[in-house]
Amino acid sequence: MAEAGKATALQDVLVVELGSRCGVSAAASLLAQLGAEVIFVEPFPGSGAADTSSSKMRYRSQFAAGKRSLIYDRRRDAALLEGLLRRASVVITSSDVDGKIAPDWATRQTVLCDVTAYGRDGEGAGSADTEWQIQAVSGIIETTGLSGGKPLALPFPAIELMTGVYAAGAILAALRVNEATGQGQFIDMALYDCAFAAMATFLPRLLAGETAPIRRMGNRHPMIAPWNVYRADDGWVLICVGNDAQWRRFCEAIDRPQLVGDTRFVKTADRVAHSDDVDAAVQDWVGGHCVERVIATLIEIEIACGPVSAIDGYPREANLTYRDMIRKVADGVNGHSIALPGSPLRMSETPGRPPTDVPMADSGRERCRELAASDVPASARHEPIRLPLAGIRIVEVGHYTTVPLSTRMLASMGADVIKIEPPEGEATREWPPAQDGQGYFFTLMNSDKRSVVLDIRNDGDAEKLRQLLETADVLIENLKPGAMARRGFSQSALAEINPRLISCSVSGFGVFSLYSGRPAYDTVIQAMSGVMTTIRDGDVPVKTGISSADLLGAEFAIVAVLAALAHRDRSGEGQTIDLSMQDIAAWMTQTLWTDPTLGRDRVRVVSCRDGYLLVEAVGESGVAELARLGETSALPWQALSGNLHSTGLRAAPILTVQEMLAAPRTTSRRLWFEAPGADGKIWPLLASPMRLTATPPQVRKPMPHLGSDNAAVLGTAVAIEEAS
């Protein structure tokens, strides 16, 4: 909750939200939380706005909240809209759905962001495909579901929301350029690009040249067991036993010591090879207890676990309430209060402002007239254009996905990112498949960074980190809450080291939390945020195939850091940021809070002779047609798709990861490419989905060998053998 009297990151920023896609609204909502004034432009009643999974008007209460409403009638409001556009700092459109609305002159002074299905060029450009069609052709549906079962669609607009968060980050970066130069620019945001980026965990094997098909894993982990959802006597619980030591503790805690010596279960690889037997043994214990007892037993021995939290008006989880993520807001349309998510942007100086009301339609018209008639602010600065984060130094103490992904994106915007690794290297550095001991996943997540080895448990290395932070603008870390403080880097200590430092912590449940010491993985967060309860195979809750909590956590870190830099540019103040992946994942489910069935009657996965087809209803007539459609077809998917064309249904093939990687739309947008490392070895790299046309992100080089940059960064040589 934003504190009274606190500053906002975006002062005097006017955003005109023209586009009708959910991604447009998600981006504008985050900008509103950061202090921008947002005009929510609604279609004139009877204008024939499409009723699709991508339309923000299907979820008006969520997306209009905290904004000013203007109903736009083309016949009477052309001059009003032009005045608003001339006054706006940011205009957000979705030209594939709505057509071109913003004028050509907009980017001379304005940041113009266009959110579309496939971007402004390349294969599919201009095609107004919906959320679920993008889920189908990107591999996201194919990778979600139980092993051996049908692929499952995500029932909320996950890709629209992810694209919206990336769009908010790109807009903040463009505003930073605008502040320095007085110039606007165009941002080309494609849902497909963001969906491709979300598939990164599935790509290393294929990019390394392996040909084995990628299989759905359900809730299991490909390299660790037990890692699954189990049924207690009063609900479902997610359990992740991460290594051999944890397995021994687990067996002792549940009074099954015989499992430790079982030859099928001795090592992690043994347990993975016998996953069915492991799961049966765990289920035998879990099934005899209630969820609360299971959780209490496992938390005592530091095993990552959590209940599959229900959504009943909102996600029912105590920590979300504790962190003020559940807000009761007056809805001006129906006169009732509804539950909406608070702001996940918990920042010490410029906290995100949660919405306080849902505006009545057209209630902002008078304010729009005032804005349209006001003078356009003049820019007093005309510096040369350069990358948004040129000159910014970021220190990363991160591992796995969330923080490394966020800093990779910030590095592509020009930041000097220094990745601090322990002597043995970051946890994923050697994950297979690998090339000369360095993993493909690690390399994909860490492009354009420098590697420095420090063991900050050692006083000498802690002092080196302290000296490095004196020169830094940003620290981003995802250690367990309290870990940095125990090593001498508490928030008060960081403020003494560098008062201008922006310190961003990303954790499972937040620093301010009921569970600040609990271990958490993406799967646990999906369970405890409401995500898993929305995706079911029969009665079994299923996680998203993509690591959605990790990915959105990274995106929110990008937004928060850029917003904090905007505030520091004006005030000189640093600040602390406390991001909870649970908050962020719960935010992602918001379209299902008022109606958990929304979307389920609009989409179906049909098994065809040669694969699966995603079928989506358009409008009420399509819903009726979909109800008559069976779940299997003897036809090939292309034939069935053709038969459905004129029935109020639209369809898309559910592509495998291999098919998605080879698709023309992937290659035409150059979403991945190859580049040489410092040693001449060739590595695949992933492009940034944030396409700023005047200051395009630059992905140039793979992550170097461990400790390669110690001498350059610290001024003292560290032998590789000492760092390994």
pLDDT-flagged residues of the chain (< 70):
1-5, 46-51, 379-381, 599, 716-724
Nearest to 650, CA basis, from 625, 630, 673, 671: 625
Does pTM top 0.85 for this prediction? yes
pLDDT tens digits, 87-123: 999 999 999 999 987 777 777 789 999 999 999 998 9
Do 207 and 685 meet the contact criterion of CB atoms below 8 Å apart?
no
pLDDT at 622: 84
Place of tokens 């207690």: 232
CA pair distance 299, 518, nearest whole angstrom: 7
- pLDDT, tens digit, 9 for 90 and up, residues 36-53: 999 999 987 765 566 677
- pLDDT reported for residue 442: 96
Q: How far apart are CA 173 and CA 167, in angstroms?
A: 10
Cα–chain center distance at 113: 19
Please give the pLDDT value at position 50: 60
> What is the pLDDT at residue 4?
56
| Pairing mode of beta strands 682-686, 672-676 | antiparallel
What is the token pair recorded at 197? 């980026």
Q: Which of left, alpha, beta for 590 (phi over 0: left; psi -120 to 50: alpha)?
A: alpha
| Neighbour tally for 363: CB within 10 Å | 16
Q: How far apart are CA 510 and CA 582, in angstroms?
A: 8
Which pLDDT value is given to residue 542? Answer: 97
User: What is the rounded distance in angstroms from the CA atom of residue 240 to the CA atom of residue 521?
Assistant: 8
Nearest Cα to 81, choosing from 42, 120, 53?
Answer: 42
Residue 442: closest CA among 451, 718, 477: 451
List of residues 6+ apart from 499 with CB closer than 8 A: 573, 574
Go through the domains of the chain in sequence order and give each one's CATH number: 14-201+332-382 (3.40.50.10540), 243-302 (3.30.1540.10), 601-658 (no CATH)
Sign of torsion over alpha carbons 230, 234, 235, 238: negative
Report the alpha-carbon distance of residue 555 to residue 561 in Å, rounded.
10
Q: How confident is the model at residue 723, as a pLDDT?
A: 40
Q: How far is CA 264 from CA 4, 8, 243, 393, in A?
A: 59, 57, 15, 49
Q: Is the dihedral of CA 268, 272, 277, 281 positive or negative?
A: positive
What pLDDT does 632 receive? Answer: 93
CA angle 118, 531, 614 (to 5 degrees): 45
Bridge partners of 72, per DSSP, are 43
pLDDT at 330: 87
Residue 45, classed as helix, strand or coil, is coil
CB neighbour burial string for 87-113, b if at least 16 within 10 angstroms, e if fewer: bbbbbbbbbbbbeebbeeebbebbbbb
Q: Strand pairing partners for 330?
A: 337, 357
Contacts of 632 (CB under 8 A, 6+ apart): 606, 607, 608
Asked if residue 113 lies in contact with residue 23, where contact means CB atoms within 8 angstroms, the answer is no
CA distance 407 to 562: 12
Cα–Cα distance between 227 and 305 in angstroms, integer? 9
Query: Of 240, 255, 259, which is closest to residue 302 (Cα–Cα)?
Result: 240
Q: Half-sphere exposure of residue 492, counting CA atoms within 13 Å on the CB side?
A: 1
229 φ, ψ to 5°? -100, 140
* Spatial distance between the Cα atoms of 163 and 369, rounded to a whole number of angstroms: 31
pLDDT of residue 619: 77
Strands 416-421 and 449-453: parallel
Going through 373-415 in order, the beta strands assigned E by DSSP cover 393-397
47, burial (CB in 10 Å: exposed 0-12, middle 13-18, buried 19+): exposed
Q: What is the DSSP string of 284-313?
A: HHHTTS-HHHHHHHHHHTT-EEEE---BSS
